[in-house]
Amino acid sequence: MNESSNSLTTRREFIKTTTRIAAASALAGVVIPHVHAAGGDLIQVALVGCGGRGTGAASNALSSKRGPLKLVAMADVFADKLNSSYENLAKGKADQMDVPQDRRFLGFDGYKKAMDCLKPGDIVILTTPPAFRWVMFTYAIEKGLNVFMEKPVTVDGPSTRKILKLAEAATAKNLKVGVGLMSRHSRSLQELAKRIQDGELGEIILMRGYRMHGPGGSAFQTKWPGNPSELLWQIRNFHAFLWASGGNFSDFYIHVVDHLCWMKGSWPVKAQAVGGRHYKTNPDGVPYVDQNFDAYSAEYVFADGGRMLMDGRCMNGCNDIYSSYVHGSKASAIASKSGDCGAPSTIFKGQNPQRSNMIWTSEVPQDQRDPYQNEWNDLVDAIRDDKPYNEAKRGAEGSLVTSMGRMAAHTGQEITFEDILNCEHEFAPTVDQLTMDSPAPVPAGPDGTYPKPMPGITKKREY
Same CATH topology for 5-183+372-390 and 186-365+401-433?
Answer: no
Helices (H), 412-443: 417-422
What residues does each domain of the chain span?
5-183+372-390, 186-365+401-433
- Identify the sign of the CA torsion 354, 355, 360, 364: positive
Q: Which of 38-47, 208-217, 223-232, 309-318 has the lowest average pLDDT? A: 38-47
Shortest CA distance to 117 belongs to which of 127, 135, 104, 108?
Answer: 104
pTM: predicted TM-score of the whole model, two decimal places: 0.92
For 25-173, where are the E strands, in sequence order? 43-48, 69-76, 104-106, 123-126, 146-149
CATH code assigned to 5-183+372-390: 3.40.50.720
Please provide residue 97's backbone torsions phi and psi, each rounded to the nearest 5 degrees.
Answer: -125, 135
Confidence at residue 26, expressed as pLDDT on a 0 to 100 scale: 43
The angle at the Cα of 404, spanning 400 to 408, to the nearest 5 degrees, equals 165
Worst-scoring range by mean pLDDT, 7-16, 54-63, 91-100?
Answer: 7-16
Average pLDDT on 267-277 reads 98
The answer to whether the CB of 220 falls within 8 A of the CB of 452 is no
Q: Cβ(231)–Cβ(129) under 8 Å?
A: no
Question: With 60 as the cut, is the pLDDT of residue 15 above it?
Answer: no
Distances (CA, A) of 160 to 24, 56, 145, 148, 392: 18, 25, 21, 17, 10
Helix, strand, or coil here: 218?
Answer: coil
pLDDT at 420 over 80: yes
Residue 366 has pLDDT above 60, yes or no: yes
**Can you spell out the DSSP letters for 83-118?**
HHHHHHHHHHHGGGB---GGGEEESTTHHHHHHTTS
Distance CA 173, CA 115 (A): 17
More confident residue, 4 or 139: 139
pLDDT over 60 at 12, yes or no: no
Q: Would you state the pLDDT for residue 18?
A: 42
In this model, does residue 320 exceed pLDDT 70? yes
**By three-state DSSP, how is residue 358 classified?**
strand
Question: Does the structure show a pLDDT above 90 at 14?
Answer: no
Is residue 7 over pLDDT 70? no
Average pLDDT, the chain: 93
pLDDT tens, 121-162? 999 999 999 999 999 999 999 999 999 999 999 999 999 999
Longest dimension (CA), the chain: 62
Residues paired with 44 in a beta bridge: 70
Pairing of strands 358-361, 346-349: antiparallel
Are 249 and 406 spatial neighbours (Cβ–Cβ below 8 Å)?
yes
Would the pLDDT of 2 be above 70?
no
Separation CA 84–CA 86 (nearest Å) = 5
CATH 3.40.50.300 fits 186-365+401-433, yes or no: no
Q: Which helix (H) or strand (E) holds 325?
A: strand 321-328
User: Which runs of consecutive H residues, i.e. helices, occur in 185-246?
Assistant: 187-197, 230-236, 242-245
- What whole-number distance in Å separates Cα of residue 225 and Cα of residue 406? 28
pLDDT for 40 beyond 70: no
What pLDDT does 279 receive? 87
- Inform me whether the pLDDT recorded for 103 exceeds 80: yes
**Who's near 256: CB < 8 A, 6+ residues apart?**
209, 210, 211, 310, 324, 336, 340
Cα angle 321-53-104, degrees, rounded to a multiple of 5: 165
Cα dihedral 309, 312, 317, 322 in deg (nearest 10):
70
Interval 172-206: pLDDT, tens: 999 999 999 999 999 999 999 999 999 999 999 99
User: For residue 267, which phi and psi values (nearest 5 degrees)?
Assistant: -95, 150
* Count of beta carbons in the 10 Å neighbourhood of residue 390: 20
Length of the chain: 463
**What is the CB neighbour count within 10 angstroms for residue 146?**
28
